[in-house]
Amino acid sequence: MTRITVLAGGVGGAKFLRGLRTEAARRWPDGAGGTSAELTAVVNTGDDAWLAGLRITPDLDSILYALAGVNDEQRGWGRAGESERVSAELRAYGVGWPWFTLGDLDLGTHIARTSWLREGAPLGEVVTRLSSRWPLGVRLLPMTEQEVETQVEVEDGGRTRLMHFQEWWTRYRASLPALRFVQPGVDRAEAAPGVIEAIASADVVVFAPSNPVVSIGTILAIPSLARAVRDTRAPVVGVSPIVGGAPVRGMADACLAAIGVETGAAAVALHYGSRASGGLLDGWLMDTVDESEAESIRGAGIAAAARPLLMTDLPASAAIAGAALDLADSLR
């Protein structure tokens, strides 16, 4: 059996996982339309928050809804056919964040999650229960069950202050210059049950084309998890979230600027570093438009391959996933 473990953030991670699920069904069919390969996603929980008394887990939900086929394709996040009646009531009471809308269907998920958490179920178990509603074809694991939330230190009117990542991202659209990102407690956080094993026993480990700082970077901030990536016998390949010097969508450039990394395909690969010299990657899949940067990646000891990387539709995402698997195969 082939085991593929993917580190993933929300929307970029979700698109890639949908493609991978399709590609895996083609390469390793199970005879029933699915795949015999074991697909596992280790998902960022740094964006999680308590809001209106509820625990919200945006990246896990983006992936859950997309794999279940109940996501809003147009808007790019949340549930399809969503309404916002409850959010309007909460706003009238001044509860929650006025700039962060919780859709009614989405609130159903948050209430179910919070209710199980309050009964004492750990987050991993909660994710299993939420996932069991749909045939996802991918096992979802939170990176950790501890609450380690990303905070952003910003400069605001000549002073520095910390705010939750969601506030910086959603309220300010990443417009306040970020000085740094911190996840208080992450250095003591344990990977969630199943995570280390999924990386250690994988045939391939893939970094999805997700935000390298606040999605993949946050996952890799868990010490035991980064160690598992360094130590796995599987090839570790990344798919570039940067195409032609820009994040395809979103504001990852603002995050990269804060950690002093240029917004470029090679710069991100070099930031992860080569496993041969204590880093995290064996291979890097980049877009054809960035092919001129391949030499500097290879020079750093990371294998590089180039192909179009825009996940415009499911076949495109599946072809990208296939190219990542091919690159991994070439490294065995």
* Chain residues in the site for Ca ion (CB under 5 A): 9-10, 47, 59
At closest approach, how far in Å is the CB of 59 from Ca ion? 4
State which residue, 59 or 167, has the beta carbon closest to Ca ion.
59
Of ligand GDP, Ca ion, none, which one sits near residue 13, judging by CB under 5 to 8 A according to partner kind?
A: ligand GDP
- Residues in the chain, overall count: 332
Strand 49-51 with 204-207, pairing:
unpaired
At closest approach, how far in Å is the CB of 63 from ligand GDP? 8
At closest approach, how far in Å is the CB of 30 from ligand GDP? 27
State which residue, 173 or 233, has the beta carbon closest to Ca ion.
173
Q: What is the DSSP string of 78-117?
A: SBTT---HHHHHHHHHT-S-TTS---HHHHHHHHHHHHHH
Binding site for ligand GDP (CB under 6 A): 8-13, 59, 62, 209-211, 215, 240-243, 247-250, 252, 309-311
State which residue, 44 or 87, has the beta carbon closest to ligand GDP.
44
Of ligand GDP, Ca ion, none, which one sits near residue 235, judging by CB under 5 to 8 A according to partner kind?
A: none
Residue whose CB is nearest to Ca ion in the complex, by number: 10
What tokens were used for 324? 């990542």
CA distance 33 to 40: 18
At closest approach, how far in Å is the CB of 171 from ligand GDP? 15
Strand 246-247 with 178-182, pairing:
unpaired
At closest approach, how far in Å is the CB of 36 from ligand GDP? 26
Which uninterrupted H or E stretch holds 295?
helix 294-299
DSSP H helical ranges for 162-264: 165-166, 195-200, 216-219, 223-231, 252-258
